[in-house]
């Protein structure tokens, strides 16, 4: 099946620093990728829709200046958490929609962010 990778798998950073998370579709092209946030024992909360070559669309309540998204190619989207604070600690998951598929969306393994 289609594979989506995320890097890093876990990161610990100091408060005030920025962290970049990469999401790659390894064997398919994805014009559209999605970024989710998941708190412990909760469902996934969509943060933004990332479209290759255009600005991301953010969900209500998600600060676009804090969560910068860049989708520079058909296989790579990045999420940068700027000036991270402890409340940004969470599990971040990306998904990629296969351009050739029938509304199939494949998820990355997630990135555990801990802000000290």
Partner 1 sequence: GEDVEQSLFLSVREGDSSVINCTYTDSSSTYLYWYKQEPGAGLQLLTYIFSNMDMKQDQRLTVLLNKKDKHLSLRIADTQTGDSAIYFCAELTDSWGKLQFGAGTQVVVTP
By CB under 8 A, name the one of 13, 20, 44, 70 that touches partner 1.
44
Sheet with strand 67-73: strands edge to edge: 4-7, 19-25, 76-81, 67-73
4 touches partner 1 (CB under 8 A):
yes
**Alpha-carbon span 76 to 41, nearest angstrom:** 28
In the three-class reduction of DSSP (H, G, I as helix; E, B as strand; rest coil), residue 51 is classed as: strand
**Calpha distance 74→69 (Å, rounded):** 14
Taking CB under 8 A as the binding criterion, the range among 12-20, 62-70, 76-84, 97-105 that sits at the site for partner 1 is 97-105
29 lines the binding site for partner 1 (CB under 8 A): no
Residue 108 Cβ vs partner 1, minimum distance, rounded to whole Å: 5
Among 29, 49, 82, 89, binds partner 1 (CB under 8 A): 49
- Please report, in angstroms and rounded to a whole number, the separation of the first and last CA atoms in the chain: 37
Contact footprint for partner 1 (CB under 8 A):
1, 4, 6, 32, 34, 42-44, 46, 49, 51, 93, 95, 97, 103-110, 112
């Amino acid at each position: 099946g289609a594979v989506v990778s995320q890097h890093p798998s876990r990161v610990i950073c100091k408060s005030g620093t920025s962290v970049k998370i990469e999401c790659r579709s390894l064997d398919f092209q994805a014009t559209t990728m999605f970024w989710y946030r998941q708190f412990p024992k909760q469902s996934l909360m969509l943060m933004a829709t990332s479209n290759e070559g255009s600005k991301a669309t953010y969900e209500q309540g998600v600060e676009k200046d804090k969560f910068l998204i860049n989708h520079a190619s058909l296989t790579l989207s990045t999420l940068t958490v700027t000036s991270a604070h402890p409340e940004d600690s969470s599990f971040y998951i990306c998904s990629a929609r296969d351009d050739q598929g029938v509304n199939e969306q494949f998820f990355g393994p997630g990135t555990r962010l801990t802000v000290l």
